[in-house]
Amino acid sequence: MPSLMDQDNGDSEDERHTQNMADYSEILGLLLASRVLNSSGPVPKCSQLYLVLVEFKEGDSLRFRCNLRVSPDTFDELVQRIEDHHVFHNRSNCQQFPVEIQLAIALFRFGHDGNSTSVEAVAQWAGVSVGTVVKATRRVIIAFLSLHDTVICWLNEEEKQAAKDWVEAEFCPSWRDGFCMVDGTLIPLFEKPGHHGEAYFDRKSNYSLNVQVSCFFFVSSRPLLIL
């Protein structure tokens, strides 16, 4: 038969276990509510968006282009092309940022590399949270991908003729009836991809994506090859 002392020790152990579980539940509730372990209060933010989207856009197109890699007119056209996409509209009580702000965040991120393109760095530049940077980038990509079939297409006969006239006037009449132009660029990745990572290692010793654009016409009886 257990002694009274043993029973007292068992009761004390149960009480300690119950108290520990209550403490852990309180900590778990705090974590689920705040999503952070250590918080030093709100992070100070000083957004560059007003400077870029208002001051530079209206009065300094060169600096606007340095930030977003497009001209103000091109930026406005891009906004018009995607602003009605459903990805920018939801029924949440927490409203999204305007499309032009989300596009600016994505373009700034696309147009830079190295440390300046980290999510944290872009968030500090825009004065937003890192989550907003990730979501804005994702939404912009989804919106532009939906335009693929309307903006990526073969030229019609009228457009081909206009291109041929331009080549003849600007370069060489002999190139009018057939030419090929190819250009490309490397887009550095911030880290080695987890899937087939070695395939992304480029000649400049970086991990990157290779984007290549080709424009070609072979409309003459003798195709012209330009190297």
Query: Given CA atoms 169, 172, 217, 154 in this order, what sign does their dihedral have?
Result: negative
- Which H or E run contains 215? strand 208-218
Query: pLDDT tens across 137-175, in order?
Result: 999 999 999 999 888 877 788 888 888 888 788 877 877
pTM: 0.60
Beta pairing, strands 208-218 & 178-188:
antiparallel
Listed in sequence order, the residues at least 6 apart from 160 whose beta carbon sits closer than 8 Å to its beta carbon are: 217, 219
Phi, psi (deg, nearest 5) at residue 138: -60, -45
**Three-class HEC string of 58-114:** HHCHHHHHHHHCCCHHHHHHHHHHHCCCHHHCCCCCCCCCCHHHHHHHHHHHHCCCH
198 vs 45 pLDDT, higher one? 198
136 vs 221 pLDDT, higher one? 136
Q: How confident is the model at residue 224 (pLDDT cuts 50, 70, 90)?
A: very low
What residue ranges do the domains of the chain occupy? 1-40, 49-148, 154-218
